[in-house]
Chains A and B, each alone.
Chain A
Amino acid sequence: MAQRGGAQRPGNGGGQGKICQFKLVLLGESAVGKSSLVLRFVKGQFHEYQESTIGAAFLTQTVCLDDTTVKFEIWDTAGQERYHSLAPMYYRGAQAAIVVYDITNQDTFGRAKTWVKELQRQASPNIVIALAGNKADLANKRMVEYEEAQTYAEENSLLFMETSAKTAMNVNDIFLAIAKKLPKSDNTASGSPGGTVRVEPNQQTQGAAGCCK
């Protein structure tokens, strides 16, 4: 049932090349499937009754891309509008963001647009933003047209895919697409020995956290 991820799945394989670490944040209205996407990507699992996220949850996953190992530090945020005030703490310093909406719910698409705007305004300028239309397995209940979302994504130069955490459709692909698009030049992903720089929510911005081991 639960398919384990695709061919590019993790691990220590690859090995010989560079190792890059990126901070990625998931944003979007509640119950669109943010946690499910992460769970599918990281553990290859899907829970029909995935619990709501309070505050934020953190997971990591590594993908291999040619000779580079990309390690994602994934911050999965709470969807409720009220937790909005906490969000900057999580997207601050993120190099990538996935803004998720539910294709069966037009409102969640509207909310996704607001998130994109906020990220463009307040997150790191070079942040890679991907738009994910989740629950693609429920295509017969579709309320947001593929073309509509794609047009929007093109206008805002976002990566765009329709995904399904349930069937695993496009889940690894969207993370891989982000990994490809992320700069792996030396200044963001160098092999400095200083270890990772942690973004501490209660402290001032520390800038990009993309460092490597």
Chain B
Amino acid sequence: MYPRSPELGKAHLGASTFFASAHPSESCGSNGLPLTPNSIRIFGRARALHIINHPHLCTYVDIHRGKHERIMVVQEYYSMNLGKAVQKYEKLRSTSGLSQVAHQILQGLVYLNNFGSVSCNLSPENILVDPFGQAKLYNYGLYYMTEAGSAVSFPIGCVQYTAPELLLSGASQESNPSGSTVSGNPAWDVWSLGLILTEVLLGCTITNKNESTEKQVASVLELAQASDPLLKLAEKHQALDKLKFLSEDMKDFLHQCLTVNPEERPLPRSLLSHRLFQLCVISASLVPIPPHFPVIDPALCLVDFAQYKAKFGMTSRNQKEMLPDYPLTSGDQDSPQLLKQTAISKRLCVKELLSERSMREIYYLWQLAGGNVEQELKKQKLIRTKPAILALPSVMVVEGEVFGGGINRHQLLEATTIILPLQNLHSRLAHIPPEKYYPLITQGECGTDDPEISQLPLVIRERDVEYQFHRLLTFERLLQAYPFKADAILKEARKDTPPYYRALVWAALLHVDGAIAQRYQQIDKETPTATDRQIEVDIPRCHQYDELLSSPQGHAKFTRVLKAWVVSHPHLVYWQGLDSLCAPFLYLNFNNEALAYACLSMFIDKYLHKFFLRDNSEIIQEYLAKFSHMIAFHEPKLFNHLHNIGFIPELYAIPWFLTMYTHVFPLHKIFLLWDTLLLGEASLPLCIGIALLRQLKDRLLQFGFNECILLFSDMPDIDMERVVKECVLVFCSTPPAVTFRQHERSPSDLSKPSSHSPHLTDANQDLIMDAVPVSDLKSEKCPRISGAGLLELMAYKKSRDGRSKVLVVDVRSTEEFSRGTLAGAVNMPIDTTISSENTLVPGPSTDILIANRGRVIAIMGSRNSWDQVLKFAECLLNHEFHRVCTLHRGVEVFRSSGALIVPA
């Protein structure tokens, strides 16, 4: 997954939960569609928080939606918060220690401001202190993900630390829940910071938490009315002597923070250069780094000076001293007495090794090892299940709105965070030797090569924590070495693509490279165009079962990527279906529109070349004709049936190919399908079509026209893994010439000899497949094979077990045949082999044909009597012979190649 999150280190994964506010039932937006649930709005927005990667901000690892608008958030977490830490550690209480902390918090805030948000949620509980004494803001994304609190029905932030102007405007804010653009004033957080620090320095608590909200608000407003809030605080809590002992710098800093007028209060950015922080060093870049592809490990990126400094100056953990007696383990770990000594040491070792992995990776593996956030929250009573009878509403009005019986107000936001227990994961990975954590990709060492597991079905492999762990390690390395290791990525992806890295593997398979972010940035995605209306009506119905794509953020990103594509491809146009095509890329690269756009562009260029031309009928017609040929080639019986009932590909296969099956299947199936599709050539989608038909073959053969088309209009459940396997088999048994399309993108390496046949030289242009008019393609039922393709098939004979892969049938007269034909060709003059009723005449020829059933049967005739060739081929097709093809441009193509011999 992407972008990479920071290393786990000594962090815990903490889970917390809250409820989004529910819409009254049956409410519709102005477009007649139901309002987007607030939990989906939150879900879509929260995804952007994954980009945040800063040493003083806890990482947002993941977010889930539960029932009844419940949101569950997984974040980096430490068991110490500032409130507890200052009580335990003298060092942190001291002016110097506390100014360090203040400096770190400010850095976090500046980074957050640069990201485009504010915390609005500062409190001693939401400032965590890690084992190295570093401050980390926690829960700072609540304001951002809830769109300034408009998606939840509880206030954000701790009342006693909230800036007074926020409390005063609180009422008006709530009445305007449509505020979709989050801005927030960075100065709000400065007030809170000032109060928190003052509290520590004066050794007092401003208000008792158990006091009523009214009293808490009153005490904040009381402060706001004082001319000097700091002095007022000290007076109120009899701490004037403590105030006296504070350094001038600190006093000045606190004064500035506690400026009542929000317009005069300094912003975090300017406070960073306050005298108090003269000796402090910036820990890391204060600007979020957008995700980059090809992947550059930010830690290795020397271009970014701040990162450089961070890497070698400040944050290297090993050099830093840990706080003594820091409670590292959560209380619920199994007692050591129960474990043998060796097991403990092994676990410690795993723990150490895993702490170097990224948090999101650990969380992913934890889930594979059976972890489930909702279960954990339930276990620890943060989610309480209420008997259904107690949840019944007490009043219900005719319009469908209900009152009472809902969620208790105090449950809306659960302030507690629970720690996800990683023991299970540790024990699952305990036996993996340390060296496996560092695979040597240059020596072809690729994690587990355990043949047993690689033979298991994909669904099992995808859920096997150990297998995925090895895959993750391998792919991480390979992707870091992209594009240098592009070939190795392809090789590994042939085994399978780990879902965790799918976005990047796909980008690598599509050869995305270069300055994609800049290119995307330069495209005008705002100016209205004629296509806008169409895009606007298509997006709200494109894969909307998905939480991410149906969120307002998803729609906005969708629009931008599609508009960018349309604008940047002036010779191509938006056809309905492009939206579906974009969906998988957008889903995978939700935080990297540029990469989604780049992948989409590359994908279309490779697999749907010219499909989005204003006039694409020729291209589609050719494609469908080729598909029809493929059916005849691989499934003659089905072909005959479908042909007889008039069920032609035009009627069902346009959405298949125009959207590469994205309009046909849900996302999870598309992922599986495209994992394979992207490995193959532009003709692979045709083979997928055949594999699909094969899976439905039994039904189709029994169905009439109406049933067939109904079957496809409501695509039945397809076993995608079987399709994927089948399509590869189909691909391998299809000579390239059969799927040749003149509108295919010409491969850049066209000069590469496509055949190893000794007969083929550059001069033999005749032998190569070339364009056939679409009208001819459509009138012919069987595909054509090129001379070179035929020679190649024949060459197999010599290398395999003597059984030839192809039967060449020369349909010319015996006289012509005897003058020269291909070695091994069988002469079956059309007049004697096929009766006037277009059936095979029983005899030795027919016997030969029957004996060769299953092989490629190439019908060879003269260019001048092409009708004979077609007639013969169609007759075989009617007799349900597999793999019948005709020799493109007749036997004459071999004249100059010397392949013709006089038969014995």
Q: Which residue of A lies closest to B579 (CB)?
A: A52
Interface membership of A200, Cβ < 8 A: yes
B576 adjacent to A80 (CB under 8 Å) = yes
The answer to whether residues A54 and B541 also contact, given A138-B32, A202-B778 and a CB cut-off of 8 A, is no
Q: Which residues of B contact A129 (CB under 8 A)?
A: none
A-B contact pairs, 8 of them (CB 8 A): A30-B576, A48-B34, A49-B550, A50-B541, A51-B541, A56-B651, A58-B710, A198-B705
Interface membership of B646, Cβ < 8 A: yes
Q: How far is the CB of A206 from chain B (nearest CB, A)?
A: 10
B651 adjacent to A54 (CB under 8 Å) = no
Complexed CA–CA distance, A104 and B28 (Å): 15
Contact of B654 among A54, A73, A202 (CB under 8 A): A54
10 more contacts with CB within 8 A, not counting A52-B579, A55-B654, A59-B710, are A31-B538, A52-B541, A54-B580, A54-B663, A58-B706, A58-B713, A78-B576, A89-B650, A166-B32, A200-B648
Q: How far is the CB of B663 from chain A (nearest CB, A)?
A: 5
Interface membership of B537, Cβ < 8 A: yes
Q: 1/0 per residue A172-213: CB within 8 Å of B?
A: 000000000000000000000000101011100000000000
Q: Which residues of A contact B706 (CB under 8 A)?
A: 58, 60, 73
Q: 1/0 per residue B590-615: CB within 8 Å of A?
A: 00000000000000000000000011
Complexed CA–CA distance, A5 and B148 (Å): 45
Complexed CA–CA distance, A132 and B604 (Å): 37
Q: Which residue of A lies closest to B573 (CB)?
A: A82
A49 adjacent to B541 (CB under 8 Å) = yes
Interface membership of B298, Cβ < 8 A: no
Q: How far is the CB of B645 from chain A (nearest CB, A)?
A: 8
Q: Which residues of A contact B (CB under 8 A)?
A: 30-31, 48-60, 73, 78-83, 85, 89, 104, 135, 137-138, 141, 166, 196, 198, 200-202
The answer to whether residues A141 and B30 also contact, given A54-B659, A59-B710, A202-B778 and a CB cut-off of 8 A, is yes
The answer to whether residues A57 and B658 also contact, given A80-B575, A141-B30, A202-B650 and a CB cut-off of 8 A, is no
Contact of B651 among A31, A58, A135 (CB under 8 A): A58
Q: Which residues of B contact A56 (CB under 8 A)?
A: 651
Complexed CA–CA distance, A54 and B650 (Å): 12
B576 adjacent to A54 (CB under 8 Å) = yes
Interface membership of B577, Cβ < 8 A: yes
Q: Which residues of B contact A196 (CB under 8 A)?
A: 705
Contact of B663 among A51, A81, A198 (CB under 8 A): A51
Complexed CA–CA distance, A59 and B615 (Å): 28
B709 adjacent to A82 (CB under 8 Å) = no
Complexed CA–CA distance, A135 and B30 (Å): 12
A80 adjacent to B534 (CB under 8 Å) = yes
Q: Which residue of A lies closest to B647 (CB)?
A: A198
Q: Which residues of A contact B710 (CB under 8 A)?
A: 58-60
B709 adjacent to A58 (CB under 8 Å) = yes
The answer to whether residues A49 and B778 also contact, given A30-B576, A82-B576 and a CB cut-off of 8 A, is no
A198 adjacent to B537 (CB under 8 Å) = no
Complexed CA–CA distance, A155 and B538 (Å): 33
Complexed CA–CA distance, A89 and B541 (Å): 26
Q: Which residues of A contact B575 (CB under 8 A)?
A: 80, 82-83
Q: Which residue of A lies closest to B713 (CB)?
A: A57
Q: Which residue of B lies closest to A21 (CB)?
A: B706
Q: How far is the CB of B774 from chain A (nearest CB, A)?
A: 10
Complexed CA–CA distance, A208 and B560 (Å): 46
Q: Which residues of B contact A59 (CB under 8 A)?
A: 710, 713
Q: Which residues of B contact A200 (CB under 8 A)?
A: 646, 648
Q: How far is the CB of A134 from chain B (nearest CB, A)?
A: 10
Q: Which residues of A contact B33 (CB under 8 A)?
A: 48-49
Q: Which residues of A contact B34 (CB under 8 A)?
A: 48
B541 adjacent to A135 (CB under 8 Å) = no
Which among A52, A82, A141, A201 has the highest number of chain B CB atoms within 10 Å? A52
Interface membership of B544, Cβ < 8 A: yes
Q: 1/0 per residue B535-550: CB within 8 Å of A?
A: 0011011101100001
Complexed CA–CA distance, A202 and B30 (Å): 42
Q: How far is the CB of B550 from chain A (nearest CB, A)?
A: 8
| In the complex, number of A-B residue pairs with CB atoms less than 8 Å apart | 87
Q: Which residues of A contact B705 (CB under 8 A)?
A: 196, 198
Q: Which residues of B contact A (CB under 8 A)?
A: 30, 32-34, 534, 537-538, 540-542, 544-545, 550, 573-577, 579-580, 614-615, 617, 645-646, 648, 650-651, 654-655, 658-659, 663, 705-706, 709-710, 713, 778
Contact of A54 among B540, B614, B655 (CB under 8 A): B655
The answer to whether residues A198 and B646 also contact, given A60-B706, A80-B534 and a CB cut-off of 8 A, is yes
Q: Which residue of B lies closest to A32 (CB)?
A: B537
Complexed CA–CA distance, A54 and B578 (Å): 10
B713 adjacent to A30 (CB under 8 Å) = no
The answer to whether residues A30 and B534 also contact, given A54-B576, A57-B713, A73-B706 and a CB cut-off of 8 A, is yes
The answer to whether residues A83 and B651 also contact, given A50-B541, A57-B713, A138-B32 and a CB cut-off of 8 A, is no
Q: Which residue of A lies closest to B775 (CB)?
A: A202
Q: Which residues of A contact B541 (CB under 8 A)?
A: 31, 49-52
A137 adjacent to B32 (CB under 8 Å) = yes
Q: Which residues of A contact B540 (CB under 8 A)?
A: 49
B32 adjacent to A55 (CB under 8 Å) = no
Q: Which residue of B lies closest to A50 (CB)?
A: B541
Complexed CA–CA distance, A137 and B540 (Å): 19
Q: Which residues of B contact A166 (CB under 8 A)?
A: 32
Q: How far is the CB of B849 from chain A (nearest CB, A)?
A: 31
Complexed CA–CA distance, A52 and B646 (Å): 25
Q: How far is the CB of B6 from chain A (nearest CB, A)?
A: 37
Q: Which residues of B contact A55 (CB under 8 A)?
A: 654-655, 658
Q: Which residues of B contact A49 (CB under 8 A)?
A: 33, 540-541, 544-545, 550
Q: Which residues of B contact A82 (CB under 8 A)?
A: 573-576, 614
Complexed CA–CA distance, A202 and B778 (Å): 9
B617 adjacent to A85 (CB under 8 Å) = yes
A30 adjacent to B537 (CB under 8 Å) = yes
Q: Which residues of A contact B580 (CB under 8 A)?
A: 52, 54
Q: Which residues of A contact B645 (CB under 8 A)?
A: 198
Q: Which residues of A contact B544 (CB under 8 A)?
A: 49
A52 adjacent to B542 (CB under 8 Å) = yes
Q: How far is the CB of B192 from chain A (nearest CB, A)?
A: 42
B709 adjacent to A83 (CB under 8 Å) = no
Q: How far is the CB of B235 from chain A (nearest CB, A)?
A: 60
Complexed CA–CA distance, A141 and B534 (Å): 20
Q: Which residues of A contact B537 (CB under 8 A)?
A: 30-31, 52
Q: Which residues of A contact B614 (CB under 8 A)?
A: 82
The answer to whether residues A201 and B650 also contact, given A30-B534, A57-B713 and a CB cut-off of 8 A, is yes
Q: Which residue of A lies closest to B543 (CB)?
A: A51
The answer to whether residues A52 and B30 also contact, given A57-B713, A58-B710 and a CB cut-off of 8 A, is no
Complexed CA–CA distance, A56 and B713 (Å): 9
Q: How far is the CB of A190 from chain B (nearest CB, A)?
A: 20
Complexed CA–CA distance, A141 and B31 (Å): 9
Complexed CA–CA distance, A78 and B655 (Å): 11
Q: How far is the CB of B282 from chain A (nearest CB, A)?
A: 47
Q: How far is the CB of A203 from chain B (nearest CB, A)?
A: 9
Q: Which residue of B lies closest to A83 (CB)?
A: B576
B654 adjacent to A51 (CB under 8 Å) = no
A54 adjacent to B32 (CB under 8 Å) = no
Q: Which residues of B contact A198 (CB under 8 A)?
A: 645-646, 705
Q: Which residues of A contact B615 (CB under 8 A)?
A: 85
**Nearest 9 Cβ contacts at the A-B interface:** A31-B537, A55-B654, A198-B646, A54-B655, A49-B544, A58-B709, A80-B576, A54-B577, A138-B32
Complexed CA–CA distance, A48 and B32 (Å): 9
Complexed CA–CA distance, A67 and B817 (Å): 67
Complexed CA–CA distance, A33 and B658 (Å): 22
Q: Which residue of B lies closest to A60 (CB)?
A: B706
Q: Which residue of A lies closest to B530 (CB)?
A: A81
The answer to whether residues A51 and B542 also contact, given A141-B30, A202-B778 and a CB cut-off of 8 A, is yes
Q: Which residues of A contact B542 (CB under 8 A)?
A: 51-52
The answer to whether residues A202 and B534 also contact, given A57-B713, A82-B575 and a CB cut-off of 8 A, is no
Complexed CA–CA distance, A79 and B533 (Å): 12
Q: Which residues of B contact A53 (CB under 8 A)?
A: 576
